[in-house]
Chains A and B, each alone.
Chain A
Amino acid sequence: MIKESYSIFDENELVKASIDGDNGAFGEIVIRYQKMVARTVKGMLGDSVFAEDIGQEVFIKLYYALPEFRGEARLSTYIQKIAVNLTLNEIKRRKRFLSMFSQKGNDEIYEIEVADQDTEERKEALEIVNKALLSMDPKFRIIVTMRMLQGYSTKETAEILGLPLGTVLSRLSRAQEQLRVILEKL
């Protein structure tokens, strides 16, 4: 009953209601954008418990940042920027941690959990993508995630990542080369 009433709200109404303390409205924002955040966070960190925690952190940060949201950009872009920042921070944090305690240096550790309900073929497709992404350099991985998993144009990718369009295009080309080499080995 409550879910139905919030589903007819548009983005601005949900934001306004959330700022006024309506948690149901914020819950609707979570439902609408959780898949988008999952693609970014899990694409970058792997399908793990850590990624779930970062996903929660994204929305908690959004909740407290909503009063500052002026509606100049789309809410999805705003959420995406938070997700990208938190995910990149997590990767940096892990690298620091590993460089302190591991002799391997900057190698990242990821744990991948593939959902049980998928068929074997679908599981394999997801595994290929996960392995390929996690083998990439994070600065290329984020571009690939935005492009391949989120389906953003190069212009949208540049806006979200706060990079010049030329940089995005050159990284995209290099990412494609790197990915080609990685996929050949898989």
Chain B
Amino acid sequence: MNHSEIKKLIISSLNADADANDAAERLEKEGVSFNFRNGFRDKILEKISSSVLTMTREIEYVKYLNLAFSRIALTGVAAIIVLLISIFLMQGSLSFDSFLGLSDSYDESIVCLLTGN
């Protein structure tokens, strides 16, 4: 196909009622074809693998960070509770009797409560 025929084919392929698929196939036969270079697929798979690996590492890092944070936080909360209890006990504002509800009870009253007399 010479230049003018190629040009005619290009123009006619744009007619609204033309068979565009047929024109595209004819142009491809004449050398109007596009493709990527060799190794295109491998380059893509390589890029995907490396990005997936990076993402996996990031996810693992965040996971370990969360785990470490929760452990440290729990230990911290436990330490604060123990500290508060020990302070209250040392100050005398808290006693084991008050936990058991014995601070206001006398032996006689317990006997009365149990026997009903």
Contact = CB atoms under 8 A, between A and B. Distances in A.
A15 interface: no
B14 A179 contact: yes
A148 B12 CA distance: 9
Contact of A154 (B11, B16, B41): B16
Interface residues of B, number: 34
B40 A148 contact: no
Contacts of B37: 52
Q: How large is the interface on A (under 10, 10 to 19, 20 to 34, 35 or more residues)?
A: 35 or more
B11 to A, nearest CB: 6
Overall SS of chain B's interface = helix
B25 A151 contact: yes
B7 A183 contact: yes
A60 B47 contact: yes
Interface of A: 23, 26-27, 30-31, 34-35, 37-39, 41-43, 47, 52, 55-56, 59-60, 63, 118-119, 121-126, 128-129, 132, 144, 147-154, 169, 172-173, 175-176, 179-180, 183, 186
